Structure formats: C-alpha cells, structure tokens
C-alpha cells in the first residue's frame, strides 16, 4: 500500500473514533466493516489460494427471534399447595424486617448479572464505527462489502468459535478469545464458496455454561418445583423461526479463493483495529458491553 493510501485511511480511522471506557467484564460488543480496495498500486502479484476451514468450530450469527410468553401457563406451573401462599397476604412492616436482620439471616450475594440471550445475535446497527463506515462509503477508491455488530463473551482460545459471516461470494471468519490478553484471529476472503453450519448447538452450550457459572454457590442447593407440563410444545414460548434454516445445506469447507487475508493479533478493548491487505480492508471495534 502506498504512502498516500496509508495517510488517507489514517485520517478516516483516527478522525472518526473515540473510545468510551467502560467497566471491566467478559462480555464485549464487536463491530466490523469490511471493504474492498479498488485501486491496487504496485506490481504485487496476488494468486488464488486454497482455504481450508475443516476441523475448526464455526458458527453463524443469529437473526433476532420473535418470542412471546404465555404468562398464565408460567404462573400455573409453580406448585403452590392449595394456594396457601400469596404475596398479597404476607405482612410487611419495619419490625419484621428489623427482627429478621438482627436474627443473623444470611444475605445472598449474586454474581454480576449477564444477558447471554443476546450473545451472537445480529444487531446490524453500528455505534463506534458508524462515522468510519459513512466516510469510507463516500470514497471512490473503496467499496463497502459488509458491516455487522453483535455481542459475545471472550472465551479461551480452545473454546472460542470462529464467527463466519458470508456476504455475496465473500466471507469473514473472526475469533475473539482471551488468554492473558484479548486476541483477534481474522480470516477474510474474496470470491470463494465456503459455508458453515447453522446448527445452534455450540452457541447454546456457551450460553448454558455461562448461565451455570452465574449461579451463586449459596443458592445452588435451592429446589424450585416446576410442573413439567410447561414443557409441552408451544405452551409457554412461541418462536418465529426462519423456515429456511430447517433445511440442511451441504457444507463447503475447502475452496479456492481469489484473495485471502489471515492475521492473528493481540488487542486492547475500546480501540479500533485495522487489518490490511492489497485488496481487502477490515476494521474491527471491540469494546466492553454493559
């Protein structure tokens, strides 16, 4: 890349972003902008390459599901004997509260609350990278290929999956993981025909493990009785699911791609990270999510 292009991208890059420091946690918002660099300067010969993603865990971001709850079924599912228990019948006064506190009752301390339900769900709206996206979109030497945003945890390198975003005949695989520091593992390609499983088992396992870890030790032995009838199909939760996902598509794990970018990098949160290639540009923002 020539000096002029570096200066131009630097102005777009740094002139449009400021970091908002937030509280530390292990859940992060991720935003991406992928663009093609239309002006190739120099005599560098770029040959097609084989890309093999066999043997690595890949997931696809999920579309938002429309969920409705049957509140009556939920209320009726709890086993209250002869309706003897009623919140409205419970006397509440200051003397009762004082007596309970003085009797040495234990206050349960809960872990930080997490909202794993939104993990790996497409948000589409850019917060940190919106200005950069609009500036790049106005310039003739760049062609915006894709933008997306989502929330996810930072798992260990062994457990973190690659998120595979496919746009037209191009794709981006991105893995955010945490060892001692945060890391990004990025694979991007143009003009290749690869696909990943839409099976949600990996995502569901990540969410379930996080939910288990969030339960305080003090209440793990509590027994809450729930009527098993609530698990009958469509009684409580109704989901609007894309019927196209019900049909399995053959996975393509090895293919020849015209342009390929591969880079792994240690990063810091609340910063913008630029991955460069003579034909591909990728801008990624990773910042703390409340």
What is the per-residue pLDDT for 106? 41
Q: What does the buried/exposed string (b/e) look like for 204-239 if buried means 16 or more CB atoms within 10 Å of the residue's CB?
A: eebbeebeeeeeeeeeeeeeeeeeeeeeeeeebeee
User: Rg of the Cα trace of the chain?
Assistant: 25
State the virtual CA torsion across 228, 229, 232, 236 in degrees, nearest 10. Answer: -100
Beta bridge partners of 274: 283
Of 44, 60, 62, the residue nearest 242 (C-alpha): 62
Q: What is the mean pLDDT of each run of 10 residues along the chain (290 residues)?
A: 54 50 67 92 78 93 68 58 49 48 44 73 93 96 97 95 96 96 97 90 90 70 57 52 50 90 96 95 92
Beta carbons within 8 Å of 285's beta carbon, 6+ residues apart: 17, 29, 30, 31, 32, 128, 129, 271, 272, 273
pTM of structure: 0.70
Beta carbons within 8 Å of 184's beta carbon, 6+ residues apart: 174, 175, 176, 264, 265, 267, 273, 284, 286
Beta carbons within 8 Å of 145's beta carbon, 6+ residues apart: 34, 35, 36, 167, 168, 170
What is the per-residue pLDDT for 2? 55
What is the per-residue pLDDT for 46? 83
* Dihedral (CA of 235, 119, 200, 33) sign: positive
The C-alpha angle with vertex 60 and arms to 34 and 288, in degrees rounded to 5, equals: 65
């Amino acid at each position: 890349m020539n000096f002029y292009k570096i200066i131009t991208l630097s102005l777009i890059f740094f002139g449009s972003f400021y970091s908002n420091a937030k509280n530390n946690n292990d859940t992060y918002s991720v935003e991406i902008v992928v663009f093609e660099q239309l002006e190739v300067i120099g005599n560098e010969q770029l040959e097609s390459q084989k890309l093999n993603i066999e043997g690595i865990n890949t997931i696809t971001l999920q579309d938002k599901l429309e969920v409705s709850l049957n509140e009556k079924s939920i209320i009726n599912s709890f086993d209250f004997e002869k309706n003897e228990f009623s919140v409205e019948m419970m006397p509440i006064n200051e003397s009762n509260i004082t007596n309970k506190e003085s009797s040495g009752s234990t206050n349960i301390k809960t872990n930080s609350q997490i909202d794993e339900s939104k993990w790996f769900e497409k948000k589409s709206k850019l917060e940190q990278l919106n200005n950069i996206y609009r500036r790049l979109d106005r310039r003739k030497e760049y062609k915006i290929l894709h933008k997306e945003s989502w929330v996810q945890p930072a798992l260990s390198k062994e457990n973190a999956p690659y998120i595979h975003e496919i746009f037209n005949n191009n794709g981006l695989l991105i893995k955010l993981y945490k060892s001692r520091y945060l890391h990004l593992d990025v694979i991007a390609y143009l003009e290749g025909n690869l696909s990943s499983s839409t099976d949600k088992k990996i995502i569901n396992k990540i969410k379930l493990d996080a939910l288990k870890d969030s339960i305080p030790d003090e209440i793990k032995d509590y027994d809450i009785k729930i009527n098993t009838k609530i698990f009958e199909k469509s009684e409580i939760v109704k989901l609007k699911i894309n019927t196209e996902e019900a049909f399995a598509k053959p996975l393509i794990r090895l293919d020849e791609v015209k342009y390929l970018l591969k880079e792994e990098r240690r990063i810091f949160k609340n910063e913008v990270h630029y991955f460069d290639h003579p034909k591909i540009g990728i801008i990624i923002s990773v910042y703390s999510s409340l």
